[in-house]
Chain A
């Protein structure tokens, strides 16, 4: 299918003070094609897309649209030629209904200033119908699922006659079933000649839906290929520029015989169903599964942030009653939450304050904080965890994601936990910092801590964990030794296909 490209960006370069974000990158998309754009964080994907959206202007290079060179100086320019962007964070007004959201800022008018509601809703309905969506035009969009809200955004894009839709990690907060529906819609759009740029970190999805792949690394184009000519390993190798195994330097397994945490028949409504497992000292237990499988809900329940409906939790063989996170902390269980910035850190406080925050009780002299000891403890952890910060007084919000995550982990280490739970510990962290976090996790295990690690990145789970439990719809649907399983096996368990097979057998 050698059609004329709809979009052809050539020799695009862009620098920011101190950083070359893009160097001489070519990027083209044909009509009716789904192009995957992949690369590690910081590879330049978002810079390239911001140039396409008219938010940044390239230092060098030109953008050809439908055979003609165009200048995209603002999002409005880009919308005008027919480029629509669906951001990771949804850009809908939650309390307004679907119709108003679709035509916001472009309302049909009866007279100057007076909205023609009848036409607005009729047009919006037509746009939703084209996509076959069961969405009522007059219902506030916040009452719909995230997947449906995304489809409302697609309808909005189509109402602007978009010919190219950029989807920035659209599946990151969707359930399995919702992803399937989204992909059906994307295929429908492809058939109608709409071009799609699909940004995702998930290899399975890229192979499922995309026609071609563009890989960026460190601001440079690594390659453009038909998806059929590649394997997932090829793409990952192109992304990271080295063999996959090297990122996950696995030391000797350090699993001890002693069971530190034992969870039996734990349930929390429909979210967590009848989950049982054991965690040994020094073991790294990975939890794989799709988003919404109940992994976060499970660890929240163990940590006391949510109340279980059934089940028991034993620590070192003794049944414990955890009804509040403070109980869990007292028992020596730590949780590094998924939402690092929202739930893990005090973003406007210093590195030192963040490290000692949970340890303050032990730093008190009478009612005053012993700042000298607080400083020495902070410095010790900054040093041990290799936190790259100008000083312990630095405001933590100014550090990179990887260094922030190290501080969250340091905060727990001050309490010398027996069990440390990490929920998506490397989300939004670049490759270099990732491998440091992995080393840290291995170091913890070596010191006898039982580690639970939730991750949606299969290579990560397989590369870091000793044992992998897979969850699907609240159940544990598979248990694997990380050394001798494959991504396929885990994926089957994660999508429930394997569990069904076992039941029917």
Chain B
């Protein structure tokens, strides 16, 4: 075989692409650290993490659906429904905390699985199926709560929003951050070491090939949407725990933040390309940006514009680096 370019050695274009989100994050941190002395204080840093745990967790699920070649727009509504249902089970039905959590997670998985079923068997485009679920789940939330917040879930519940977990060697770590780290590790391992993870990349990369290779494409897709629903439910409960109450209008627009985070992290909208860790950093980036702008007292109208601008910039850099890589 003729020796072609790049068969070994470092592919700089690829390295740049993979690390661009990290570089942008570091640049932002530097910028905010210079502009505001409060930014680097441990309490603020913990705040950033704590306030963005739900975005990061939802981003992982959305990343999975994007990797498999689809999208999940229903996560914000599913998160709200999960918050309401978990709180309602405890407050209205007197079901203990852990069983409520498990029921809610199962509900999230089933809702996601329904998305998957609509896509796989109903042949609906993922965008349409999950857009419909966005509406349905939000409606169910309003119906279940009668449009009113639910509170009084008790300490076992709110601990996961505001409590601290004593960890050996490290000390006290806010509980939601511990949850997020566990989720990140589990999903990074899932995507990198298991057959399921490889099959997600294969289905998203070339569905026909995956089918010819004997991969159960439908099952992979349904599980993937199921996991996205499960993670959305988890995020919804963490958000509810932090706010001490389940708000029926919570999580509106969360899906867009998650998609933005995934795209910032280099996940392709066309499937098969990207990884969970970069997407998580993309989620952090959005959190850091919001926090820094708050500290600098940027008005919320401008904040949205700046967030949009950063998204355009990051994706433009990505596109250009890809072109550079091809040459």
Contacts and interface: CB of A to CB of B under 8 A. Distances in A.
Interface stretch (A36-44, A106-114, A291-299, A441-449): A106-114
A264 B264 CA distance: 48
Instruction: Classify chain B: how many residues form its interface, as a range.
Output: 20 to 34
A114 B6 contact: no
A145 interface: yes
Interface stretch (B129-137, B188-196, B299-307): B188-196
B19 interface: no
A136 B11 CA distance: 13
Given A91-B209, A93-B206, A96-B202, A106 B214 contact: yes
Contacts of A104: 198, 202, 209-210, 213, 215
Contacts of B272: 93-96
A100 B213 CA distance: 11
Contacts of B193: 114-115, 117
B4 interface: yes
A113 B195 contact: yes
Interface in A86-108: 91-96, 100, 104-107
A76 B216 CA distance: 13
A101 B210 CA distance: 10
B202 A135 contact: no
A461 B312 CA distance: 50
A134 B213 contact: no
Given A95-B205, A148-B1, A115 B195 contact: yes
B210 A93 contact: yes
A181 to B, nearest CB: 6
A365 interface: no
A132 interface: yes
A76 B213 CA distance: 9
A320 interface: no
B63 to A, nearest CB: 15
Contacts of B202: 93, 96, 100, 104-105
Contact of A113 (B8, B196, B201): B196
Interface in A109-130: 109, 113-115, 117
Nearest to A75: B212
A136 B212 contact: no
Contacts of B201: 93, 95-96, 100
A105 B212 CA distance: 9
Dominant SS at the A interface?
A: loop
Nearest to A108: B195
A405 to B, nearest CB: 26
A107 B197 CA distance: 12
Nearest to B3: A134
Nearest to A134: B1
B213 to A, nearest CB: 3
B273 interface: yes
B146 interface: no
Contacts of A100: 198, 201-202
B197 to A, nearest CB: 8
A163 B22 CA distance: 49
Given A92-B206, A95-B205, A144 B215 contact: no
A139 B2 CA distance: 16
A58 to B, nearest CB: 21
A92 B198 CA distance: 14
B221 to A, nearest CB: 15
Contacts of B6: 139, 143
Contacts of A181: 1-2
B208 interface: yes
Given A104-B213, A115-B195, A91 B208 contact: yes
A253 interface: no
A242 interface: no
Contact of A115 (B4, B198, B213): B198
A232 interface: no
Interface in B196-246: 196, 198, 201-202, 205-206, 208-210, 212-215
Contacts of B7: 134-136, 139, 144
Nearest to A85: B212
Contacts of B194: 113-115
A151 interface: yes
A91 B206 CA distance: 8
A113 B193 CA distance: 9
Nearest to B273: A95
Interface string B75-90: 0000000000000000
A177 interface: yes
B195 A114 contact: yes
Interface string A376-416: 00000000000000000000000000000000000000000
B52 to A, nearest CB: 29
A133 interface: yes
A457 to B, nearest CB: 27
A257 to B, nearest CB: 45
A151 B2 CA distance: 12
A300 B202 CA distance: 35
B205 A144 contact: no
Contacts of B212: 75, 91
Interface in B157-212: 193-196, 198, 201-202, 205-206, 208-210, 212
Most chain B CB within a 10 A radius of its CB, from A76, A139, A148, A181: A139
A32 to B, nearest CB: 23
Contacts of A95: 201, 205, 272-273
Given A104-B202, A148-B4, A92 B209 contact: yes
User: Which 3 residue pairs spanning A and B have beta carbons closest together?
Assistant: A105-B213, A93-B205, A105-B214
21 contacts: A76-B214, A92-B209, A93-B206, A94-B205, A94-B206, A94-B272, A95-B273, A105-B210, A109-B195, A114-B193, A115-B194, A117-B193, A134-B1, A134-B4, A136-B8, A143-B6, A144-B7, A145-B2, A145-B4, A178-B2, A181-B2
Interface of A: 75-76, 91-96, 100, 104-107, 109, 113-115, 117, 132-136, 139, 143-145, 147-148, 151, 177-178, 181
Given A93-B206, A104-B213, 9 more contacts: A76-B214, A93-B209, A93-B210, A95-B205, A114-B194, A114-B195, A132-B1, A145-B4, A148-B4
